Amino acid sequence: MFDREGNRKYLNWQERIAFLRAVRKEPDTSRKAFCLTLFYTGCRISEALNLTAKRVDQSEQSLVFETLKRRKPGEFRSVPVPESLLRLFDELELDRGTNACVWTFSRVTAYRLIKAKMTEADITGIKASPKGLRHSHAIACISRNIPLTTVKKWLGHARLETTAIYVDALGEEERDLARRLWGNQN
């Protein structure tokens, strides 16, 4: 989970919290909901932009994304989200019976929005991106002992091997294991 120069490609726990704080200050409900959708689901930016009002499933407390990376259309996955995010969707007053997209801004605008929130959170480098949020979501799931098969489903991966790359990036958990190894040797 590092680039060729050794830079981390994901947000650590403290950076995730800093991003969340920056997003919570956002006055625009639509922009806030977009940022939180990426934060809480780990979806791809294109999948978030493709989310329709019809796929905000209040009864199941989830968002239903079409997995856009696969070659064939029509593959969907449901990802649970906190009630606080669902309340934001309520504030948007979406017409639930339509296939209209929740957000009407462009991919460039969406990318710039995430970058701006990263800047506000004082997060820089390759990790300060929508992809960094996706990576950090996967790592947060794994570090909280969510089964790899569930993380695979939530991220929309076709193969478990793709999801398994995140197992190697467990910074804090790995440090805890090392501390146990060192024991009283310090």
Q: What is the pLDDT of residue 143?
A: 83
Alpha helices in 51-124 (DSSP H): 83-91, 107-120
pLDDT tens digit string along 134-155?
A: 999 999 998 888 999 999 999 9
pLDDT mean values, one per 10 residues, the chain (186 residues) = 89 95 98 98 97 95 90 89 96 85 96 98 97 94 90 93 79 68 68
Find the helix packing angle between 13-24 and 29-41, rounded to 10°.
160
pLDDT tens digit string along 38-50?
A: 999 999 999 999 9
CATH number of this structure's domain 13-185, picked from the four choices 1.10.357.10, 3.40.50.300, 1.10.3720.10, 1.10.443.10: 1.10.443.10
- The domain segmentation of the chain, as residue ranges, is 13-185
Single pTM value for the model: 0.91
Environment class of 185 (CB within 10 Å of its CB; exposed 0-12, middle 13-18, buried 19+):
exposed
